[in-house]
Amino acid sequence: MSISYDQDNIFAKILRGELPCDKVLETDHSLAFRDIAPLAPDHVLVIPKGAYICFEHFSKEASVEEMADFVHSVGEVVRLMGIDPGSGGGGYRLISNAGMDGGQEVPHFHVHVVGGRRLGPILAATNA
Ligand code: 5GP
């Protein structure tokens, strides 16, 4: 069984201009905007404009142009935020949640770019 893309998800509405966003970057194939509930001083979401649910879906069906644009956009966001350790920034973390186990809330592929503070271990220690 495959899951189909939900045209009414929040990021689809942002892409259609039905909901506002605090835009950081826009290219032909990608959009980056600040997370509405930031978990760190710098927290930006980068999304492709195409209807992809998660990383695996994007990797399977996106064009080479969309993929190149997306990867470049993530790097550009890091540069715009001034958090690239190679340029004297403090560093950052990229996160992409998928599905229930991954804790994905919005079913449109996105990468979180998070930085601006010490982020601690990669996963919170829980007894789950
Ligand atoms: P996920 O859990 O799917 O990886 O992350 C979804 C993210 O989208 C969350 O960090 C959440 O704060 C953010 N988010 C949810 N609704 C909105 C919205 O309407 N605008 C913005 N900018 N971010 C949103």
SS3 track for 103-115 = CCCCCCCCEEEEE
Q: In the chain, what's the furthest Cα-to-Cα distance?
A: 47
> How far, in Å, is the centroid of ligand 1 from the Cα of 35?
6
110 is catalytic: yes
Entry pTM:
0.96
**Best mutation site among 13, 36, 46, 96 for ligand 1 pocket (most ligand atoms within 8 Å of CB):** 36
How far apart are the CA of 16 and the centre of ligand 1, in A? 16
Q: Confidence class of residue 124 from pLDDT cuts 50, 70 and 90?
A: confident
What digits encode the pLDDT tens for the residues 14-57? 999 999 999 999 999 999 999 999 999 999 999 999 999 999 99
Distance 117 CA to ligand 1 centre (A): 20
Alpha-carbon Rg for the chain in angstroms:
15
